[in-house]
């Protein structure tokens, strides 16, 4: 029974956070999901504060993770010199972060999620770390939308350059980079596959 409670209570708390967050903005959870977009153009005159970043990361922390290892870390780039140094590291995505004052670099700890006593528990290995990182990022971008922000998750980046710039430890895998700010325009919603294409009920 205790093992069951260890997993149920964090999940219950997680849902409470999501529901209460939605209530603060007047949006329902379904509205947040359907209205969130990947935004590539931002209003440079509007800034995200450090306190708001802390609120976002605190929400991301509520995401479930393998055995609650909480292997995801976030590096918030906010200083002007670091934001400028980030430009050449982002390649074709540099233009997407040109007008934001916050860029989040996400990582996960190697050999943590999906491992017990240093051994991979199944064939996915560190794939579970990436999975947990994605869950945390999903919480983050939905909370960002709830707070009135827009986001863009980017995978094209120079991981080694990010590691050097932000002093990211070697045992952390650099996954995505997230632009955070106020979008200039709301992009159209991309078409989704038909439900029967992705849902297989047996």
List the domains of the chain with CATH numbers: 2-186 (3.40.109.10)
- In contact, 130 and 114? CB cutoff 8 Å: no
pLDDT at position 112: 96
**Quick one: 154 exposed, middle or buried, by C-beta within 10 A (0-12, 13-18, 19+)?**
buried
**Quick one: 175 exposed, middle or buried, by C-beta within 10 A (0-12, 13-18, 19+)?**
buried
pLDDT at position 25: 58
Identify the band that residue 6 occupies on the pLDDT scale cut at 50, 70 and 90.
very low
The alpha carbon of residue 86 and the mean position of all alpha carbons in its chain are separated, in whole angstroms, by: 18
pLDDT at position 186: 82
* Phi and psi torsions of 122, nearest 5°: -155, -170
Tokens linked to 13 = 């708390």
pLDDT at position 26: 65
Note the pLDDT tens digit of each residue in 21-73. 454 556 799 999 999 999 999 999 999 999 999 999 999 999 999 999 999 99
Distance CA 22, CA 2 (A): 31
* Phi and psi torsions of 12, nearest 5°: -65, -40
Using alpha carbons, select from 78, 95, 92, 107 the residue that is nearest to residue 177.
Answer: 107
* Phi and psi torsions of 179, nearest 5°: -80, 140
Note the pLDDT tens digit of each residue in 167-184. 999 999 999 999 999 999
> Can you tell me which residue has the tokens 């504060």?
49
Mean pLDDT for 146-170 is: 97
Mean pLDDT of the chain: 90
The model carries a pTM of: 0.85
């Amino acid at each position: 029974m205790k093992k069951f409670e260890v997993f149920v209570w964090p999940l219950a708390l997680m849902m409470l956070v999501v529901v209460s967050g939605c209530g603060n903005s007047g949006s329902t959870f379904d509205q947040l999901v359907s209205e969130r977009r990947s935004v590539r153009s931002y209003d440079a005159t509007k800034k995200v504060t450090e306190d708001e970043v802390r609120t976002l990361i605190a929400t991301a922390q509520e995401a479930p993770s393998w055995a609650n290892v909480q292997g995801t870390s976030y590096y918030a780039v906010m200083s002007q010199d670091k934001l400028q140094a980030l430009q050449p590291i982002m390649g074709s995505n540099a233009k997407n972060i040109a007008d934001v004052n916050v860029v989040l670099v996400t990582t996960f700890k190697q050999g943590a999620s999906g491992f017990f006593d240093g051994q991979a528990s199944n064939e996915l290995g560190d794939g579970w770390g990436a999975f947990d990182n994605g869950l945390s990022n999903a919480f983050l971008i939905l909370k960002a939308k709830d707070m009135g922000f827009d986001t863009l998750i980017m995978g094209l980046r120079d991981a080694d350059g990010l590691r050097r710039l932000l002093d990211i430890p070697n045992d952390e895998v650099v996954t995505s980079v997230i632009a955070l700010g106020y979008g200039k325009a709301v992009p159209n919603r991309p078409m989704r596959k038909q439900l029967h294409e992705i849902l297989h009920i047996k």
